[in-house]
Chain A
Amino acid sequence: MAKRINRRNFIQSAGAVTAAGVIGMPGLALGAGKKVVVVGGGTGGATAAKYLKRADPAIEVTLIEPNKTYYTCYLSNVYVIGGGKGIESIAHSYDGLAKHGVKVVHDYVTGIDAAAKKVTTKGGATIEYDRCIVSPGIDFKWESTPGYDEAASGTIAHAWKAGPQTAMLRKQLEEMKDGGTFLLAPPPNPFRCPPGPYERASQVAAYFKKHKPKSKVLILDPKGKFSKFGLFKQAWGKLYGFKEGSDEGMIVWRGTPKGSDDNKIVKVDVAGKSIETGFGSEKGDVLNIIPAQKAGKIAFAAGLTKGDWCPVNLRTFESTIHKDIYVIGDSAAAKGLPKSGYAANSEAKVAAAAVAASLNGKDAPVPAYVNTCYSIAGPGYGFSVAAVYRLKEDGSKVQKVSGGLTPSDASKSTLASEETYAHSWYKNITSDIFG
């Protein structure tokens, strides 16, 4: 798809160069380069690839992703872990993206050379780019869970990257005897999907209530509170006999006040299925340990990180470290936005519009962002947090301008409706990303 260079393109591009105060970029000055490489075909990457094509079909988009099937983390708690529907219920292929004209390459990116503008892969390929969008999701900080590491995740699930991990956790719950304990260790902040661990606890409890009513869900939390705190506690009280500060109900939550190390992991005994915390030791029948998190591996390899995450210009998601590389999704330090699928989808659209604009010699457009996270606490019981955001004028933060939680006095029919809308959200966002 070679792009013809006419006078108009040439002037546009030249204009961009002066506007940005950049000199000596022959590729751009000739108006020739319109190659974008997207690293990672998850929520952020797949959305960006599709929306780049929507913005400008002349852009050559190559998406590099090792897996042929993407399993969504979202709704994995509900459909697979609680609902037993199997991981096909959360599976998506890349056929839809190919139809939009995205070139999908199944390979793993091992390096990004920001100076030479080249991506190298495990399969031995070198691919040049004019702009690169990076959305590799998260990596675990295994040092946060002594005794529990990548090898141990073969028997004790984190299930914080969906797929075989999710299936394994469901299988272990099915094999557990009635009267057993599901021991859940959520991560410290910040992590992907802040309400996720608590939706998982709810969904496991929903499964127990129906099939193994003498069983328990014990949460050892290194935090003193969590996302949708009030709504979850209310739902647990109504559905699973939860009483804060007591061991009575089916769900027991033990938090950690500031300054204490009560429920922080000191050591995991994988063979003995127990967790030692600052307070004591707890044994479980099925364990689920979610380590602390950081940006995906490639972000570190490419020198895109500062601390655990990747600093970006919040208007465009261009890295503030390397020019022409954009970082979106969980890996980005998107100040003001949570690490969620909706946010990754929203960031991807902002980045795609910014990349298309810059390749066509235009200024970065004004961004708009939205986030929503639905949680399903049990059958007929859904609630949400939603927000609309804008960029602060000084570019320092993505500022919430409206939104909030489902009210705590929501009627039964509202909660049931929100459950239906949560399923709609899944249907619509996955087709927006992969369809």
Chain B
Amino acid sequence: MVIKTIAGALLVAGLAFGISNAALADKKMAPKTLMGASAQALSDTCAGCHGTDGASGGPGTPTIGGLSKAYFVELMKGFKSGDIPGTIMGRIAKGYSDEEIEKIASHFSGLKFVPAKQAFDAAKAKKGAKTHEKYCEKCHSDGGTNTEDDTGRLAGQWTHYLQSTMADFISGKRDMTRKMKKRVMKLHKKGGDAAFDELMNYYASQQ
């Protein structure tokens, strides 16, 4: 009792409806593969690492639901080109066309940012809050919760990720904007690693 033909017919029907659209792809990246997956389908594949709806349970992988769209696109394109270093995102981001990145970014920017539940030192957090106000608030406003500045989300992000990002910035592996660099280097010179440790505790305290 073989009904092979029906499954076959379904496949042929789907293809005949012209969903395949290789023109959408960056040409050399995706030769002759079906393009046009929905934002939901593309974004659901990230959940294994980033959590359902981009809300990461930690302890390292960043939460990506609720980032601003513009910054999300910048991050993905940065991973794709290699401008933004990372352990694995470079390998992943190269699999998506720029159009798909726009779609995925729209999807995640529409979701809620769920702050990480993680441990922190309250005394350090208090000091960190002051440092933030002085050195970072100008661009990372509302205590680092505001994503509308297109500068990423600091408050409630997983500490491990913020730490590796800061380490990449300070070592020069990742470029900072000229103005941020000035502030960060000034703080680094003045307060050293301890100042950044306090900042991290401040961001972790915002749950």
> Chain A residues in contact with chain B, CB under 8 A?
19-22, 51, 114-115, 313, 315-316, 318-323, 342, 345-346, 349-350, 353, 363-370, 372, 384, 386-395, 399, 401-404, 406, 410, 413-414, 417-418, 420-421, 423-425, 427-429, 431-432, 435
Say whether, besides A349-B41, A393-B15, A417-B87, A372 and B60 are in contact (CB < 8 Å).
no
**B92 A370 Cβ-Cβ under 8 A:** yes
Cα–Cα, bound, A367→B11 (Å)? 12
Q: Nearest A residue to B94 by beta-carbon distance? A: A402
- Within 8 Å by CB of A403, from B4, B44, B52, B95, lies B95
Residues in chain A near residue B2, CB distance under 8 A: 321
0/1 per residue, B59-95, Cβ < 8 Å to A? Answer: 1110000000000000000000000000110011111
**B14 A349 Cβ-Cβ under 8 A:** no
**B48 A372 Cβ-Cβ under 8 A:** yes
Cα–Cα, bound, A402→B82 (Å)? 14
**A318 B92 Cβ-Cβ under 8 A:** no
Residues in chain A near residue B22, CB distance under 8 A: 393
Cα–Cα, bound, A429→B45 (Å)? 11
**B60 A421 Cβ-Cβ under 8 A:** yes
Stretch at the interface among B26-34, B146-154, B180-188, B191-199: B26-34
- Within 8 Å by CB of A22, from B6, B93, B164, lies B6
**Besides the known contacts A321-B3, A350-B41, A401-B29, 10 further A-B residue pairs in the complex with CB atoms under 8 A apart:** A315-B11, A349-B45, A365-B41, A367-B34, A393-B20, A395-B11, A403-B92, A417-B164, A420-B160, A424-B60
Cα–Cα, bound, A390→B58 (Å)? 28
Interface size classification for chain B:
35 or more
Ranked nearest first, the 8 interchain pairs of A and B with the lowest CB-CB distance are: A388-B95, A402-B95, A390-B33, A420-B60, A424-B61, A402-B94, A370-B45, A427-B57
**B95 A401 Cβ-Cβ under 8 A:** yes
A369 to chain B, nearest CB (A): 6
0/1 per residue, B133-146, Cβ < 8 Å to A? Answer: 00000000000000
Q: Say whether B111 faces chain A, with CB atoms less than 8 Å apart.
A: no
Residues in chain B near residue A51, CB distance under 8 A: 44
**A366 B7 Cβ-Cβ under 8 A:** no
Specify which of B17, B52, B56 lies most central, judged by the most chain A CB atoms within 10 Å of its CB.
B52
**B91 A402 Cβ-Cβ under 8 A:** yes
Q: Say whether B9 faces chain A, with CB atoms less than 8 Å apart.
A: yes
B49 to chain A, nearest CB (A): 5
